[in-house]
Amino acid sequence: MSEVHFVGAGPGAVDLITLRGKMLLERADVIIYTGSLVNPLLLELAKKTCVTHNSAYLTLDAVIRLMEEAVARGFEVVRLHTGDPSLYGAIREQLDRLNRLGISWDICPGVSSFCAAAAVLGVELTLPAVSQSVIITRYEGRTGVPAAESLTSLAVHGATMVFFLSIGMVDTMREDLISSGNYSADTPAAIVYKATWAEQKVLRGTVGTLSEMARSSGIKKTALVLVGNVLGDDYDLSRLYAPDFSTEYRQGILPQGGQDTAKEGA
Ligand code: SAH
């Protein structure tokens, strides 16, 4: 068993943490949680003697010091991050510091907010003939984005895009998306605020209406922006479930005259 467990809390709803994550929270002696985003109700899973710290008030040094002190006393530590820790979780710097200190750690994945947003919207992010890729990114703000990953570069693909940490910048995002030529003012877009929380808000519109959606709803943080034609109505049926498609598990029946060209939508 490792000394420090990095645990994905999931997007918000308390029952969207994994069984493993729940078990680790129940066993922890010390929990350091990302207070700005983690649902505080999750801390109720902790035992009475567990000490909790909100990392929103701490520096990296302070977080590591807390971990080091707890481990030295033989305590089990949980570092609770929102969604899945591997996305915008700033875990790498913690892992490297723990490695240098010889403290063992492991990571328990979580349901990322982008999966929760897709669920709430009731969409499949990868639709045949529409987009088979999801670009997870952020718009450049106080944290820089490598030039090769600027929105204008990524927009070349016309793929499904999910923007984290960018709700305050939808005006310029909209301009960049449209000027790329691969998205238009009519491309479907959505804003999902606090997916799976009681305060959840879901706004559907287009790239052209993104600014208005953000402004009129007053959403300023904890939201994702999703863009792409997967949010629209047109797509091809999957090959996997097509009657003429053979797989390891199922023998397809070939229609007379060749390929199935099933289409759905308008
Ligand atoms: N590791 C997290 C992301 C952390 S970065 C994950 O996998 O989801 C924080 C950003 O994530 C927020 O600014 C927002 O863009 C997004 N976010 C986190 N929780 C969210 C939620 N419940 N609904 C919508 N967006 C969320």
Confidence of residue 263 (pLDDT cuts 50, 70, 90): low
Residue 33 CA, ligand 1 centroid: distance in Å? 14
Residue type, 81: H
Average pLDDT, the chain: 94
DSSP 117: H
Q: How far is the C-alpha of 34 from the C-alpha of 257, rounded, in Å?
A: 59
Which band of pLDDT confidence, cut at 50, 70 and 90, is reported for residue 1?
Answer: confident
Residue 73, C-beta contacts closer than 8 angstroms, at least 6 positions apart = none
Please state which architecture CATH assigns to domain 114-231.
2-Layer Sandwich (3.30)
Asked if residue 164 has its Cβ within 6 Å of ligand 1, the reply is yes
Least confident of 46-60, 75-89, 107-121, 235-249: 235-249
- What pLDDT is attached to residue 254? 76
State if residue 10 touches ligand 1 by the CB under 6 angstroms criterion: no
Q: Give CA angle at 216 (199, 136), nearest 5°.
A: 65
pLDDT of residue 259: 57
Residue spans in the chain of domains classed CATH 3.40.1010.10:
4-111
Determine the pLDDT at residue 143.
84
The dotted CATH code for 4-111 is 3.40.1010.10
Question: How much distance in Å is there from the Cα of 146 to the middle of ligand 1?
Answer: 21
pLDDT of residue 236: 86
Q: Which of 12, 10, 4, 9 minimizes the C-alpha distance to 199?
A: 12
* Nearest atom (ligand 1) to Cα of 113: 8
Instruction: Read off the pLDDT of each residue in 147-151 and give the average, rounded to a whole number.
Output: 90
pLDDT tens digit string along 13-51?
999 999 999 999 999 999 999 998 999 999 999 999 999
For residue 258, the model assigns a pLDDT of: 58
**72 pLDDT tier (thresholds 50, 70, 90):** very high
Q: What's the whole-number mean pLDDT along residues 224-252?
A: 91
Q: Is residue 151 within 6 Å of ligand 1 at its C-beta?
A: no
Cβ atoms of 225 and 137 within 8 Å: the answer is no
Q: Is the pLDDT of residue 54 over 70?
A: yes
Secondary structure tally for the chain: helices H, strands E? 7, 12
Q: How far is the CA of 46 from the centre of ligand 1 (A)?
A: 23
Question: What pLDDT, on the 0 to 100 scale, is given for residue 264?
Answer: 60
What separation in Å is there between the alpha carbon of 248 and the centre of ligand 1? 38
pLDDT band at 266; cut points 50, 70, 90: very low
For residue 52, report the distance from its CA to the centre of ligand 1, in Å.
21
Please report the pLDDT score of residue 207 as a whole number. 97
Q: Where in the chain is the domain with CATH 3.30.950.10?
A: 114-231
State the pLDDT at residue 105.
Answer: 98
Q: Is 236 exposed, middle or buried (0-12, 13-18, 19+ CB in 10 A)?
A: middle
